[in-house]
Amino acid sequence: MRQRLRFLTTTFGVLLLLAGLALPATATPAGPLYPTPDPDPFYLAPPDLANLRPGDVVRVRPIDASLYANSDGWQVAFRSTNSTGKPILGMTTVFLPHGIKNPPLVSYQAIINSLGTKCNPSRALFNGELQDAPGMYLPINRGWAVSVPDHIGPTGAYGAAKLGGLITLDSVRAVQKVAELGLANSPVALAGYSGGGMASAWAAALQPTYAPELKLAGVAAGGIPADLWEMVQGLGLNPHPGFGLAFAAAMGLEREYPERLPVSAQLNPTGLWFRDWVTNECRRFLLFHGVFRNAEQLAASTSLLGSPEALSVLRENSLRYYPTIPTVPIYIWHGMYDGLTPYDAVADVAHRYCAAGANLTFVPYDIAEHMTTAAAGFGEAWNYVEARFRGEPAPTHC
């Protein structure tokens, strides 16, 4: 990731400066700006959504899964819950391997560094926007069913970590209820890296209280952003090659917490224009157009950085400060010198879990680059999941 961002900085940054993009005379007024809703009525929440229970199925449809060889595809819309307890419509995409009856189920939480509905896995698995889409072949080829939820929700609340955990758990509930899939009695594991690791780890932490009836065989989570406030401090106010993603996370958190985190109210006209411009966009667009920008260029005030309420939102979405201990076996791996997602926060979580008696395997890698750690660790992570599917006792390595 760091090498790619450095390339973006040196190559594209100059182009941005030379382009001299003109700003429109007006921008949308301050306040949360939500993505354009998907026009497909399959994504439309029914009027009686609040009457359903979390994980109840709203609608199901088969889809063309020819991009993912040897599998049949389905999409499931279901009732879930946002961070403030309100009902929302969740969505997941399921791949069933050919020729295997009652396969194990992996809920794979993908890396969604995006704001638009076209960037959610239910769309991005098929339009080229999902960077870890090729990773679907690995569990499918092991003979597992794979469910890929849109874990940042219908409003594109990128950065809302707790939300990701809630949607993940409800997606598993829903998939098990769809008779056509035949997965009601299949063993279930969760997996993901980076933002997907964050959603997976949050699901593991939330499961004892939010979905105690769910039986999970194991969870594998890597590269977890475990302390959002520490990441904000590391970014600072200077231009940064990853600023586009940080700005998107601020917008996503504002969408989920509009009253507690009024980011748009802090933006100057340039910031509001930039917010409007990127509000429906995905990872590559955000990275490209965030190069050489920073908070001071786009904000009329940075006082929100010192707001106790803003800090409380960041802490509420940081696994480092969430007290509940997972009861499911969990495998966590992380780069020791990862400059994108600080290692010390994840190590703190691991030490706390171990001290509380959690069934944890914690694997640090002597690696600095964020995505290199993903490649280095996923093989063993999948082996860990497979051992849980075989019913082997989970080891504890703290």
User: Model confidence over 243-284: pLDDT tens digits?
Assistant: 899 999 999 999 999 999 999 999 999 999 999 999 999 999
Average pLDDT, the chain: 90
pLDDT score for 315: 96
- How far apart are alpha carbons 31 and 176 in whole angstroms? 38
In which band, very low, low, confident or very high, does the pLDDT at 237 lie, cut at 50, 70 and 90? low
CATH topology of domain 39-186: Rossmann fold (3.40.50)
pLDDT score for 242: 81
pLDDT score for 3: 41
The number of residues making up the chain comes to: 398
18-50 tens-digit pLDDT: 232 333 334 455 679 999 999 999 999 999 999
Q: Does residue 348 register a pLDDT over 50? A: yes
Q: Are 168 and 203 in contact (CB under 8 A)?
A: yes
206-236 tens-digit pLDDT: 999 999 999 999 999 999 999 999 998 877 6
Q: Write the single-letter amino acid at 280.
A: N
| Mean pLDDT, range 183-200, rounded to an integer | 97
Token pair of 258, please? 């509009």
- How far apart are alpha carbons 359 and 339 in whole angstroms? 28
pLDDT score for 10: 33
Q: Does residue 339 register a pLDDT over 90? A: no
- How far apart are alpha carbons 241 and 107 in whole angstroms? 31
pLDDT score for 29: 52
- CATH number belonging to domain 2-30+244-315: 1.10.260
Task: Output 57 or 4, whichever has higher pLDDT.
Answer: 57
Q: Does residue 102 register a pLDDT over 50? A: yes
Strand partners, 147: 94, 107
pLDDT score for 233: 82
In which band, very low, low, confident or very high, does the pLDDT at 57 lie, cut at 50, 70 and 90? very high
In which band, very low, low, confident or very high, does the pLDDT at 131 lie, cut at 50, 70 and 90? confident
The angle that helices 243-256 and 283-290 make with each other, rounded to 10 degrees, is 120
Q: Does residue 99 register a pLDDT over 60? A: yes
pLDDT score for 16: 29
Where residue 260 falls (left for φ over 0; alpha for ψ -120 to 50; beta otherwise) is: alpha
| Mean pLDDT, range 62-80, rounded to an integer | 96
HEC secondary structure over 54-95: CCCEEEEEEECCCCCCCEEEEEEEEEEECCCCCEEEEEEEEE
In which band, very low, low, confident or very high, does the pLDDT at 64 lie, cut at 50, 70 and 90? very high
Q: Residue ranges per domain, the chain?
A: 2-30+244-315, 39-186
| Mean pLDDT, range 7-24, rounded to an integer | 32
| Mean pLDDT, range 175-203, rounded to an integer | 97
Edge-to-edge strand ranges of the sheet holding 105-109 = 57-63, 71-81, 87-97, 145-149, 105-109, 188-193, 218-222, 330-335, 360-365
